[in-house]
Structure 1
Amino acid sequence: MTAEWDAVTDCLMVGSGGGALCGALAAAAAGRQVLVIEKTDVVGGSTAMSGGVLWLPDNPVSARAGVEDSRSDALRYFDAVVGRDTPSASPERVTAFLDAIGPMVEFLEQQGIPFRHCEGYSDYYDERPGGKARGRSLETELFDTKQLGPWQKRFRISETLPAIPIYTAEVAAMTRGVRTWRSALTIGKVGARLVAAALRRRSVRGSGAALQGWMLLAAARADVPIWTSTRVTELIEENGVVVGVCAVRDGRTIRIQARDGVLINSGGFSHNAEMREKYGRSPTSTGWTVANPGDTGEMLQAAMDLGAATDLMEEAWWIPSSVQPDQSPLYAVFERSKPHAIMVDGTGERYVNEAASYMEVGQAMYERNAVAPAIPSWWIMDSRNRRRYMWGMAPGGWTPRQWISSGYMIKAGSIAELADRCGIEEAALEKTLERYNTAAVHGKDPDFAKGERAYDRYYGDPRVRPNPCVAPVDRPPYYAVALYPGDVGTCGGLVTDADARVLRADGTVIDGLYATGNCTASVMGRTYPGAGASIGASFVFGWRAAQHMIRAGVAPAVGKQDRGPAHTSGAE
């Protein structure tokens, strides 16, 4: 080993999200030496904080579940929803994404990842050509974090997702309370599962904790070394090739050589106020994001310092969010599909299908704000909505006193009073509600077609007919909550090719440097086509990066076949 290197490996993964662990497993299985380094003191990245779903068209797991899909349908859907107006959604990138899905999923199943189809969770634009009402999303079986042994204490757990053993398909029923027999049975089933886990002293999780729990367990079984609390300060480039990184570990600066390449899977810049102001949409605030605390943009900037091209820097995975009394953001997903509620701008007018994809609604907030005050917008509910349905983790019928006393949730006996307290012109809000309610009596929304997509209806109330998302807002008392364009991560960043290699502005490759996940410009462009689109793409391009490293590498091939164990001083 060259004396100037403190550690040497073949494939270096910066970050510990899903794409990094997927790439690490693939490289390790091919006999490459792998090292994963994580800036924070816990493993899992944004993936562990997410819903833990991967959107993967034409995948083998969904096919086994009887979901009809095809390459041609997937391409039609990409054309109809994503388009081709960004370099990241080029035909080559989309083709590469689709090509890798089958072999990647089969490989991960061989590594012990127990995937299952997310039944009932449709594509977000199922009505468009190639869209699927049964969806294309995968999740994993539930996971007992105690299987991680000593890693359990160093595993990232979301503070915004409930610590209950629940599958994606059960979430919608849970949010309806006991409105239907199915909801009541689901609540009982999940409750029994929770009690059983407690009696057995197990810590069983769903969502991102389940997905990343299985991935971390697979990495541990494959003896993939993972260093936490290791912060990269510089990408090391020699003769135009990225050959390693400088990092701070245990209070000292070390140099890590990566003989086959460096894969960045470090997230975007949601928690970097300066970068948000410089690149993002306005207005903006780090107080509106629920992204990984480590999402601060240093690796993205390091690649940009080497001349890396960027795109879509103004975009994020938008999600309408409120700011709770403790100043923490609370995103609204299932709430927006429930009946007896609407969203209006500061003038009292509706401007979007409230039940649409969270990213679509977040973008609409910014677009509307260019012509009328829409940040914040106001979520208006009547007494039936508040009595029947969850808001955040508060069940229907129970409103925390602090919500009202702090002004987070405004309660009023009339629309006139509600409008006054929200700063909305009374006549304008009453006119909006009169127009909405006239059609809503018949389950119609002639302005924005709320409830006409399968995705809209997924979180709706099936007892409200004929449209589970649309019913009048006319029973006092009334409630209002201010909503902002929050996010779960930025989705603009480094431009990469079909193999996740980082490109310069002139289209040439920065040899040795790969990237996936939220630090890259997404293959989904400016849209979110289905549940888990960001995670699915992160896994796929992490996989493709590893395959390219395996095939080619960037370091001299001399002695590669005779390599012994990498020197990784202090590996965990």
Structure 2
Amino acid sequence: MASWDESADFVIVGSGGGSMVAALAVADAGKRPLILEKTDKIGGSTAMSGGVFWIPNHPLQARDGVADSDEKGRTYLDAAVGDLGPATSRARKDMFLKQGPRLFDYLKAKGMPFVRCDGWSDYHDDLPGGMAEGRSLAVEPFNVKELPGEWASKLRRGLSALPVRGVEGRQLMLLKRTFSGKVAALKLGMRIIKAKIQGRELVGAGTAIQGRMLQMAVRQNIDIRINSGVSELIEDNGRITGVVTQKNGKPWRVEAREGVLINAGGFSHNEAMRKQYGPQPSSVAWTNANPGDTGEMIQVAKAHGAALDFMDGAVWILTSTPPSGERYIHVLDIPKPHCILVNQKGQRYTNEAQSYMANGQALYANGDVPVWAIIESRHRDRYPWSFNAGKTPQSWFDSGYMKSSETIEGLAEQINVPPANLKATIERFNGFARKGIDKDFGRGSKAYDLVFADPTHGPNPGLGAFEKPPYFAVAIYPGDVGTFGGILTDEFARVLKEDGSVLQGLYATGNSTASVMGKTYPGAGASISPAFIFGWVAARHALGQAPN
């Protein structure tokens, strides 16, 4: 029998959204959860995210008169995800679909102020069951100063500090073009000014979600420890019974009476694992994932017999690397008019307005890394690049990050693609833009293609011709915000072995696992919502409250 330094009912490795909701469920049952976070910040990937849940048939759909249902969601998941093995089994999909609306009710009752993202279409809305109205949810901005004591300083912050609400982010990108963009900017400005006058510190997106989850946890006196990584799982007679962490610089053995939940992120920042499992080329220099995503808990679970799947997957996001050392993501800008992607042959290879996951997969399938974003002057005049509005910094040109030429042929020479090919590509695309129909890749043919387009532009809001120099080019890489494969689990989030049996006492959720979404991203929030749902399911199953 193992000797223990400490005991808890449910030990949770990592502090992302799935961890927090699991801890709340354990505390609600009168049991003791313990969250062990290896970094010095709380919140995980959820805190750094865009802060969106994707939940089919959530209650705000019916409130707003949107016709959705579990069956419609199931039809869509079957069409978009398919059957790729145990991770995407019927039982796991059904658990996700059934528990999603119930999770909404659970969190709402605890004070989570959800906002429906109207018009943020499913990413594959053209498939059966897909919805142009979308199924995504955001939350209201959160005042970090509501956190007591030193907790505010321990909360991980996201990529943007702006306290945006709902779909304001995409509206702000059209500040120069639409009335709604100007209204969104005015609302945001007033919100920031009001908060400053009132002495509040507002955050939005994923930081707002995790700020509230942390607030709920603190109110329920949940034990959350930072700088407390887990190095080992303790196994006794085929059951995981505890973990080894660190306390005061020494190993500390913690008993987990009811089970252990791994929610420690993926392996985006582990160069060796990326090279072992992922498509190539790859680099940690292209990722915007949580810095704690180093993959060791996936390796530890594997050492105890856990099966792995989808290890070549990630939540891909088109990324560029400016001279500042940041990693710019290009979700909101490339789908706008007067911008295309070309490979190193100077040819288009995909629908640039498709989802970021699909764009990353298309980039790798094309075979050229990097590819090039080709941009016309009106794009730079009208829209931000990544989140950078205003005049193009001279440092972008001086460093070679952004190339510029008065002619397409001159631009082609700068980026080392065949000038004749690039010119022919532009001429062909210009014909599509003038007629409003992309005959090669169908850009603008489904609702999601137009989510980040420019509604003031026609005939197709996403297609703009290249006619007014100068022209620009930026190298685009397959960045990510987290890997999407890992430990294989069943519908109760129990870890599975290679033979399909359960590794007793061990559960997993989030980016540490092989996603129920397979190798597809059905809509905005398709990684956060499964992390929450299966973390919640895991805790209740461990306590003998298995959801039906």
TM-score normalized by the length of structure 2: 0.98
**Normalised by the size of structure 1, how large is the TM-score?**
0.94
Per-residue Cα deviation, 1:106-161 (whole angstroms, up to 9, x for no partner): 11112111122112211111121111111111111110011112200000002x22
Distance in 2 of aligned mates of 1:66 and 1:146: 36
Alpha-carbon deviation of 1:86? 3.0
Distance apart, 1:327 and its partner CA? 3.2
Identity %, equivalent residues: 48
The counterpart of 1:394, out of the listed 385, 388, 391, is 388
Of the three residues 375, 378, 382, the one matched with 1:381 is: 375
In 2, Cα distance between equivalents of 1:228 and 1:66: 44
Partner of 1:521: 514
Give 2:507's aligned amino acid. Y
Query: Does 2:6 correspond to 1:12?
Result: no
1:443-458 matched pairs, under 5 angstroms? 443-458=436-451
Aligned letter for 1:455? Y
Once superposed, which parts of structure 1, at least 4 consecutive aligned residues long, lie more than 4 Å away?
Answer: none
How many residue pairs get aligned? The number is: 545
Determine the structure 1 residue equivalent to 2:453: 460
Instruction: Give the counterpart letter for 2:386 in structure 1.
Output: G
Question: Structure 1 residues 211 and 434, CA, compared in 2 at 3 Å: closer, same or farther?
Answer: same
Letter in 2 for 1:368: N
Partner of 2:156: 156
Contact 1:10–1:34 (CA under 8 A) maintained in structure 2: yes
1:183 to 174, 181, 184: 181
Pick which of 437-446 and 270-279 moved more: 437-446
What are the Cα deviations for residues 9-37 of structure 1, in whole angstroms up to 9, with x where unaligned? 10111100000101111111111211111
Task: Return the letter of the residue paired with 2:347.
Answer: E
Q: Distance in 1 between matches of 2:143 and 2:466?
A: 43
Contact 2:140/2:166 (<8 A) preserved: no
Within a 5 Å distance, the mapping from 1:327-476 to structure 2 comes to 327-369=325-367, 374-395=368-389, 397-476=390-469
Partner of 2:197: 199
Match of 1:112 in 2: 111
Q: Which runs of 5 or more residues in structure 1 are unaligned? A: 554-572
Q: Does 1:499 align with 2:492?
A: yes
Judge conservation of contact 1:280–1:313 (CA < 8 Å) in 2.
Answer: yes
| 1:219-238 equivalence runs, <5 A | 219-238=217-236
Inter-CA distance 3–75: structure 2 relative to 1 (3 Å threshold): closer
Alignment partners' CA distance in 1, 2:341 and 2:248:
50
Instruction: Please tell me whether the aligned partners of residues 287 and 328 of structure 1 are also in contact (alpha carbons under 8 angstroms).
Output: no
The 1-side partners of 2:330 and 2:193 are apart by 28
Contact 1:336–1:355 (Cα < 8 Å) also in 2? yes
Q: Deviations over 1:81-123 (max 9, x none)?
A: 1101232111111011112112222111121111221122111
Contact 1:287–1:327 (CA<8 Å) still a contact in 2? no
- Residue range with higher mean Cα deviation, 187-196 or 110-119: 110-119
- Partner residue of 1:75? 74
In structure 2, distance between residues paired with 1:467 and 1:391: 21
Secondary structure of the 1:214 match is: helix
Q: Deviations over 1:307-355 (max 9, x none)?
A: 1000000110011100111333211100121001110000001011001
Contact 2:434 2:459 in 1 (8 A): no
Counterparts of 1:62 and 1:142, CA distance in 2: 21
Judge conservation of contact 2:27–2:220 (CA < 8 Å) in 1.
yes
CA contact (8 A) 1:62 1:138 kept: no
What is the CA–CA distance in structure 1 between the aligned matches of 2:260 and 2:60, rounded to whole Å? Answer: 30
Q: Deviations over 1:44-97 (max 9, x none)?
A: 000000011010111123332332101111111011111012321111110111
Residue equivalent to 1:557: none
More deviation, 544-553/243-252: 544-553
Partner of 1:261: 259
Deviations 1:532-555 (A, max 9, x none): 0000110010011011011179xx
Q: Which amino acid is 2:465 matched to? A: P
CA distance in 2, matches of 1:321, 1:338: 16
Unaligned runs of 5+ in 2: none
Tell me the distance in 2 between the aligned counterparts of 1:86 and 1:454.
Answer: 30
- The letter of the residue matching 1:471 is G
Establish whether residue 478 from structure 1 lines up as the match of residue 471 from structure 2.
Answer: yes
Q: Give how far 1:3 is off.
A: 8.8
Partner of 2:281: 283
Q: How much has 1:498 moved relative to structure 2? A: 0.3
Contact 2:6 2:254 in 1 (8 A): yes
